[in-house]
Structure 1
């Protein structure tokens, strides 16, 4: 209960949920469980309805798929739940950014990678002052 009151990074707080219930209109949910809303009234300075996302779990912006990102940024008028974007055959599924996590990619020779860094193979010459 205390985590729900004070930890915004671990899902929506109680205050956020109350505000969303009163002012928001649910427009859809993506495959990761993130829920998307828009305001019921015109509250933006430019006359557009505000749009936002409530993350499922940890609040990480890279968890928003590209089609929903386009809707959040007013690139598309209709949300992907009503008019899904056509998928190309060469498109891969969306993956969140894993930088800074244990599952991040670490190239060979990186100090963070497992194993031992290979020794220099003769193409490096240390600098020596004259």
Structure 2
């Protein structure tokens, strides 16, 4: 990423000003996607302020549930210490796929040709005269 995009574009990652504002803050962890989590100072309620610096595009759906809980003060300690280990049957969190080629498209969607399965005959359309 070039220096100008680092200064002016917030949607491609943390800007220069954000990184400058994190000086003196403590990095407390990193998730599997490479997002970095910081803590430092207090908010107006006296709670510790917490931040995420995204690895790549700024998309809140890219924050795993355990780190979401930490960011929103639902758990006090970092997820590695506060939560039980992940069970083997749990699926990993995925980002929101809306607007991508991997998004869910139901049968009959225009992207799939617009043809849907015929009704089975158990449906009768309403008419105002009936």
Taking structure 1 as the reference length, the TM-score comes to 0.82
RMSD of Structure 2 on Structure 1 (CA)? 2.3
Mapping for residues 1-130 of structure 1, pairs under 5 Å: 1-22=3-24, 24-39=25-40, 41=41, 43-111=42-110, 113-118=111-116, 120-121=118-119
**Bigger RCO of structures 1 and 2 (CA < 8 A, at least 6 apart):** 1
Taking structure 2 as the reference length, the TM-score comes to 0.82
What is the count of residue pairs matched by the alignment? 126
Q: Note closer, same or farther for the CA distance 1:124–1:118 as it changes in structure 2 (3 Å cut).
A: farther
Deviation at 1:118, TM superposition (A): 3.5
Q: For structure 1, which runs of at least 5 residues remain unmatched after alignment?
A: none
Q: For structure 2, which runs of at least 5 residues remain unmatched after alignment?
A: none
Is the 8 Å Cα contact of residues 28 and 35 (structure 1) preserved in structure 2?
yes
CA distance in 2, matches of 1:50, 1:60: 20
Deviation at 1:127, TM superposition (A): 5.9
Deviation at 1:2, TM superposition (A): 1.2
Deviation at 1:101, TM superposition (A): 2.1
Q: Note closer, same or farther for the CA distance 1:83–1:119 as it changes in structure 2 (3 Å cut).
A: closer
CA distance in 2, matches of 1:85, 1:65: 15
